Chain A
Amino acid sequence: MSDSRTAGALGASASREPAMSTEPSGAPETVLDIQALSKSYGETPALEEVSLDVRQGELLTLLGPSGSGKTTLLKVIAGFEAPTSGRVLLRGRDISRLSPARRGVGMVFQHYALFPHMTVAQNVGYGLKLRRVGRAERERRVGEMLELLRLEGLEGRYPRQLSGGQQQRVALGRALAYDPEVILMDEPLGALDRALRIEMEEQIRGLHRDLGATIVYVTHDQREALALSDRIAIMRAGRVASVGAPEQLYTRPADSFVAGFFANANLLPVVEHELLAEGHARVRCGGSEIRCPTTTTSVAGDGVVLAVRRRSLRRAASPGALRIAGVVAEMLLFGDEQEISLQSPVLGRVVAMMDSRDCAGLALGMEVELFAPAGEAVLVPVA
C-alpha cells in the first residue's frame, strides 16, 4: 500500500510544481539545505552535525524516538532555537541568523497554537495581513484556503468552538495561506484520536499532492511516517541515522537501529559472514547458511546482525530460506494476524507476525520451525 503510494508520489513530483519543469529533469531542486547543524544546551548535545536536504515538493519526515532531536531540528529551522554551529539554507539563502518572520516558512504546531481571540478567517489570514496583502485579495485567498480545507461556513467561528480536527485544519490553513517555501509540522496529529488521525493523514496527503508544498514533518509514529512520507530521516541521539524512501528503509535498513526501530525487525546474531558482489553476503546464522542482501561493508566477524522483519517469517519452508527452530513462548491474537514469540536456544527471542490461518495448531510450549525467505533477511551493521 505504502509502496505504491510512494512510487506514485515520487513519479508525480516532476509535474507537481511549475518551477520544477525549468530544472533539468531527474534531480529535484533542493529547497532546504541543512549543513552540519549542531545544537547543545550547555554540555548536553541535542543535535550533532546534522546534514539533510529537503527537495522541492517532497514530504520529508523526521522520525525518531523522543529525545532524538527531531523537534529541536524543527525549532532550529523555524528560528526558535539558534544553532551552536552549522547553517540552514533556504533556496540558497542562509537563514540561520534570521528571525522566524523573515525566514518565509510556515509551521503547524503540535497543539495547533491557534489565536483564541481571532476567528477562523482571521487566523488563516494572519500571515497575509502581516504581508500587507490588500483586504479584497486577502479575503479571496482565505476563502480559497477554507474551501480547500473544507472549512466553509466556519470562517466566523472562534477556535474554541471547533472540533479537534477542525482546529487542526485551521492550523494547516494558517501555515499554507501565505505560501511559504517550506512548511514545518511538529507532530500535528499527536493530539487527535486514532480515527481522526487517519482521516487527517488523508487530508495532509491530499493537500501535499494538490499544492505541491514542501513539507518537513516530525513524528514518532512509524505508521504515520510510512503513510505520509516521500522520504524519511530517522533520527537517533541528535544524529540522522538514515535517510531514504520508506521502502528502501524498510527493505534495506542502513543499520540495526533503523531495522529495529523502523522495520521492527528481529536482530539475530550471526556466526560468520562473507561479503559477496552486488550488495549481497553469505551468512551463517543459527543452523542455516543463507545468501542475503547486506548494507554493511565490514568483513569483521562481529559488529553485524541479521535483520529479519516479523512478517517475513512463515511456517512454509522455501529453498535457501533461513530456518529458525524454537519453542512457542507467547501468542497474541490481532484479528487476521497473530504475533508469535519463539524462544530459540541459539538465537534467543524471535517474534513473528503471521496470518492467523497459518497459525492453526500452534500452542504454547510447542516446538516449531519458522522460515524467512533469503531475500527478506538483511545483514546490517550494529549501530
Chain B
Amino acid sequence: MGPAGRSVTANLPASPRREADGRWSAILPNRWALLLVAPLLAVLFGFVVYPLVKLTIDSLTTGNGIGNYEAVFQSAAGRRALITTVLASMLVSALAVTLGGLLAWHIRICRHRAVRAVLWLAVLAPFWMGTVVKNYAIVILLSAEGPLDKLLELLGLAPVSLLYTSTAVAIGMVYTMVPYAAFSLYGVFLGIDESLLDAARGLGASRARAITSVMLPLAMPGIVASGALVFAISLGFYVTPVLLGGAQAPFMASFIQDYIFTFFDYPIASAASVILLAVALLTLGLALALVGRGRLQRAVA
C-alpha cells in the first residue's frame, strides 16, 4: 500500500483554468443570472406581458374607448355570454375538483394494481386524445340517436339530445378539466401522510369524519389552488363551445371570435377579452394571496 500511495502523491499541476475576474463567488453573480434569464424574459415580455398590455390599451383607445365595454355589457348577447361563461366555469371547477379529487384520492389509497392502472388510464386518456379529438368524441357521443341516447333507451329513459346546448359545452369542459384537477390533486394527496387518517380513526372518528377533519384541512390549500386554475382556464375554452355549443352558444370565446372575424370589430372583441382576463387574473390573484406562490405553481398539472 505504501509505495503505491507514494507514487500517487507526486505533485500534479494545479488547475490550468483561469478566470478573468479575480473575485470568485460560489453564488451565481446577478449579472450572469440576468443574462441566462434574458431569453425567457424576452418571450414573457414580448409575447405575454406586451400583448396583454396592448390589448388593454387598445380596448380603451380604439373604437369607442370606454364605450367598447358599455357595448359588451349592454348587448344582450354580451351579457348572456359573460354570465354563461362565468357560471359554467364555476360549475366546471366545482365538479372538476370534486370528481378529480375523488379520483385522485382513490388512486392514492387503492392497493390493487389493476384498479390503479384503470384509474390512471382514465386520467391520462383525455390528455392523450388532445383538444380537438376529445371534443369530436363527445360530439359523437351526444349526437341525436348517438351512443348516449341509445344507452338511455336501453335503460327505458327518454333521449336527451344535448348536443349544441350549454349543457353539452359544460360536459365537454368537465371532461377536459377532471383529469387536470385529478393530476394536480394527486400531487397534493401524495404529500399527506396516510397514517394521520388511521390515527384519527384510531381515536374513534368515522371515516367521513376523519376525512373531513384531517385530510380536507390539510389538502385545502391545494384544492383552492387547483380550483382557481381550473376556473381561469375554463373561462377561455374555445374549441368546446365551438364544437359542442354550435353557432348560437352563448360563450365568450364564440362572442369574441364573432366580433373579430364576422363583424371585424376588434375594439369590442378586445374589451370582451379584457373582461375575461380580468376575471381570471382576479381569481388567480386571490388564490395567490390565499395559498401562496408555491402551491399555485405546483397545482399547474
A and B together in one complex: yes
Which A residues are within 8 Å of any B CB, using their own CB? 79-82, 97-102, 104, 128, 130-133, 141, 144-145, 147-148, 176-179, 206-207, 210-213
Binding site secondary structure of chain B: loop
Structural contact, A148 and B26, CB atoms closer than 8 A: no
Structural contact, B1 and A212, CB atoms closer than 8 A: no
Supply 14 A–B pairs (Cβ within 8 Å), ascending by A: A80-B26, A98-B24, A99-B17, A99-B24, A102-B19, A104-B14, A131-B16, A148-B1, A148-B8, A179-B11, A179-B12, A206-B1, A210-B2, A213-B9
Contacts of A213 in B (CB 8 A): 9
Q: Shortest beta-carbon distance, A151 to chain B, in Å? A: 13
Structural contact, B26 and A179, CB atoms closer than 8 A: no
The answer for the CA separation of A206 and B15 in the assembled complex, in Å, is: 28
What are the nearest 5 A-B pairs in CB distance?
Answer: A99-B24, A210-B5, A80-B26, A104-B14, A211-B5
Tell whether A147 pairs with B9 under 8 Å between CB atoms, given A130-B15, A132-B16: no
The answer for the CA separation of A128 and B16 in the assembled complex, in Å, is: 11
Contacts of B24 in A (CB 8 A): 79, 97-100, 102
The answer for the CA separation of A12 and B10 in the assembled complex, in Å, is: 20
Contacts of B4 in A (CB 8 A): 144, 147-148
Contacts of A104 in B (CB 8 A): 14-15
Structural contact, B12 and A131, CB atoms closer than 8 A: yes
The answer for the CA separation of A99 and B293 in the assembled complex, in Å, is: 34
B2, B5, B13, B26: the one within 8 Å of A79 (CB) = B26
Structural contact, A101 and B26, CB atoms closer than 8 A: no
The answer for the CA separation of A67 and B136 in the assembled complex, in Å, is: 62
A80, A131, A145, A177: the one within 8 Å of B13 (CB) = A131
Instruction: Give a binary string over B1-37; 1 marks a CB under 8 Å from any A CB, 0 the rest.
Output: 1101111111111111111001111100000000000
Q: Shortest beta-carbon distance, B266 to chain A, in Å? A: 52
Structural contact, B15 and A101, CB atoms closer than 8 A: yes
Q: Shortest beta-carbon distance, B15 to chain A, in Å? A: 5
The answer for the CA separation of A212 and B6 in the assembled complex, in Å, is: 9
Most buried by B among A82, A99, A132, A179: A99
Structural contact, B15 and A131, CB atoms closer than 8 A: yes
Tell whether A82 pairs with B5 under 8 Å between CB atoms, given A102-B14, A131-B15: no
The answer for the CA separation of A161 and B46 in the assembled complex, in Å, is: 48
Tell whether A210 pairs with B16 under 8 Å between CB atoms, given A97-B24, A179-B10: no
Tell whether A102 pairs with B15 under 8 Å between CB atoms, given A144-B7, A148-B8: yes
Structural contact, A212 and B17, CB atoms closer than 8 A: no
Contacts of A128 in B (CB 8 A): 12
Structural contact, A211 and B23, CB atoms closer than 8 A: no
Contacts of A132 in B (CB 8 A): 16
Tell whether A81 pairs with B9 under 8 Å between CB atoms, given A130-B15, A210-B1: no
The answer for the CA separation of A213 and B5 in the assembled complex, in Å, is: 10
Contacts of B7 in A (CB 8 A): 144
Contacts of A79 in B (CB 8 A): 24, 26
> Assuming A148-B5, A179-B12, A211-B8, what are 12 further A-B pairs, CB within 8 angstroms?
A80-B26, A82-B23, A100-B26, A101-B15, A102-B14, A130-B17, A131-B16, A133-B12, A148-B1, A179-B9, A210-B1, A211-B5
Contacts of A80 in B (CB 8 A): 26
Tell whether A144 pairs with B19 under 8 Å between CB atoms, given A79-B24, A131-B13: no
Contacts of B13 in A (CB 8 A): 131
Q: Which residue of A has the minimal Cβ distance to B17?
A: A101
Structural contact, A145 and B1, CB atoms closer than 8 A: no
Q: Shortest beta-carbon distance, B261 to chain A, in Å? A: 52
Contacts of B14 in A (CB 8 A): 102, 104
Instruction: Give a binary string over B145-161; 1 marks a CB under 8 Å from any A CB, 0 the rest.
Output: 00000000000000000
The answer for the CA separation of A213 and B9 in the assembled complex, in Å, is: 8
The answer for the CA separation of A304 and B6 in the assembled complex, in Å, is: 49
Contacts of A147 in B (CB 8 A): 4
The answer for the CA separation of A145 and B12 in the assembled complex, in Å, is: 15
Contacts of A207 in B (CB 8 A): 5
Contacts of B18 in A (CB 8 A): 102
Q: Shortest beta-carbon distance, B31 to chain A, in Å? A: 16
Structural contact, B9 and A212, CB atoms closer than 8 A: yes
Structural contact, A81 and B8, CB atoms closer than 8 A: no
Contacts of A210 in B (CB 8 A): 1-2, 5
Contacts of B1 in A (CB 8 A): 148, 206, 210
Q: Shortest beta-carbon distance, B200 to chain A, in Å? A: 35
Contacts of B26 in A (CB 8 A): 79-82, 100
